[in-house]
Amino acid sequence: MELKTKVNAENGKQELFITREFDLPLELLFRAYTEADIVAQWMGTQVVQLDNRSGGAYRFETTDPKGNKHYFGGSIHELVPGKRIVRTFEMLQTPFGPQLEFLEFEAIGTERSRLNMQVVYRSVAIRDQILQLPFIQGINMAHQRLESYFIQQ
Amino acid sequence: MELRRDVFQAIADPTRRAILTLVALQAMTPGAIAAQFDSSRQTISRHIQVLTECELLRQEQNGREIHYYINAVKFKEISDFIEPFRKLWDDRFNKLEAVMKKYKS
């Protein structure tokens, strides 16, 4: 099946772009990012904090099958309802550091909408590492080494 | 003469895949990699050597220590390495769409 999500990662750049069109009105797409109980449903995470305002912050927490907690979060730099979220995102127990995310929401007529994400990483090397993680984890699906690595951290 | 190692042969081995998974998160010394496995240090060194020979790992000398890194350039040669990343986001957004349809009045 054709994927609806496009990823554009030019060689040698420390950013990438993710674009997706949704079969949802703009208002619902934006709510998916700003209402804690909804975020929890599609992200599969516990939303500990979601302070939706320019200058706010958010924090998510997940528990893996072994009971280890993983934390994600960042600062919300700018939030314009129905239009834009500028925020940082960081996976807290990893060495990657924070990334800067620009999320632009737009309506396509009344029933559809589009999300454009620009993600900027600290370096080209870190972007490439993060881009490759799902590939490497994919070829290694059967293995628990990654989890045991986190336990020892 | 031994044939040049190929990438797919290298990643066919489960231990080598596990090594790649570890190093993908953080550059590591051979000792730190070996400490994650029950196999002998020699066995792990051998696996690291195979991964280095086929250029999936590259090494860098930092003072007395050697650190192993993922070789990003080589990974790009494996076709569609970006696809699992795209799939991850696509799955996530599919979920978002499915969840939000319940809120449609």
Concatenate the DSSP letters of all residues of B52-103 into one string.
HHTTSEEEEEETTEEEEEE-HHHHHHSTTTTHHHHHHHHHHHHHHHHHHHTT
Residues of B in contact with A25 (CB under 8 A): 104
Using pLDDT thresholds of 50, 70 and 90, give the confidence band for residue B72: confident
Using pLDDT thresholds of 50, 70 and 90, give the confidence band for residue A27: very high
pLDDT of residue B79: 55
Q: What are phi and psi of A33, to 5 degrees?
A: -100, -15
Mean pLDDT of A111-129: 95
Q: What percent of chain A has pLDDT over 70?
A: 89
Q: In the block, which residue shows the tokens 């079969």?
A: A23
A142, pLDDT greater than 50: no
Residues of A in contact with B51 (CB under 8 A): none
Distance in Å, alpha carbon of A18 to nearest chain B alpha carbon: 8
A150, pLDDT greater than 60: no
Residue of B nearest to A33 (CA): B96
Distance in Å, alpha carbon of B3 to nearest chain A alpha carbon: 24
Mean pLDDT of B54-80: 84
pLDDT of residue B58: 93
pLDDT per residue as tens digits for the range B19-28: 988 898 889 9
Buried b / exposed e across B17-30, counting CB within 10 Å, b at 16+? Answer: bbbbbbbbbebbeb
pLDDT per residue as tens digits for the range A49-68: 999 999 999 999 998 888 88
Using pLDDT thresholds of 50, 70 and 90, give the confidence band for residue A139: low
The Cα A65–Cα A85 span in angstroms is: 32
Q: Output the CA torsion B63→A125→B23→A87 (10° steps).
A: 120
* Every domain of chain A and the residues it spans: 6-44+79-89+98-152
Q: Do A5 and B101 touch (CB under 8 A)?
A: no
* Every domain of chain B and the residues it spans: 1-70, 72-105
Q: Which of A3, A22, A125 lies at the smallest CB-CB distance from B97?
A: A22
Q: Is B41 on the interface with A (CB under 8 A)?
A: no
Q: Do A132 and B75 touch (CB under 8 A)?
A: yes
Using pLDDT thresholds of 50, 70 and 90, give the confidence band for residue A140: low
Residues of B in contact with A29 (CB under 8 A): 96, 100
Residues of B in contact with A149 (CB under 8 A): 22, 25, 36
User: What's the topology of domain A6-44+79-89+98-152?
Assistant: Alpha-D-Glucose-1,6-Bisphosphate; Chain A, domain 4 (3.30.530)
Tell me the average pLDDT of chain B.
86
Q: Identify whether the C-beta of residue A82 lies closer than 8 Å to the C-beta of residue A27.
A: yes
Q: B1-70 in CATH: which number?
A: 1.10.10.10
Q: What would you report as the CA-atom Rg of chain A, rounded to the nearest whole angstrom? A: 16
pTM recorded for the entire structure: 0.73
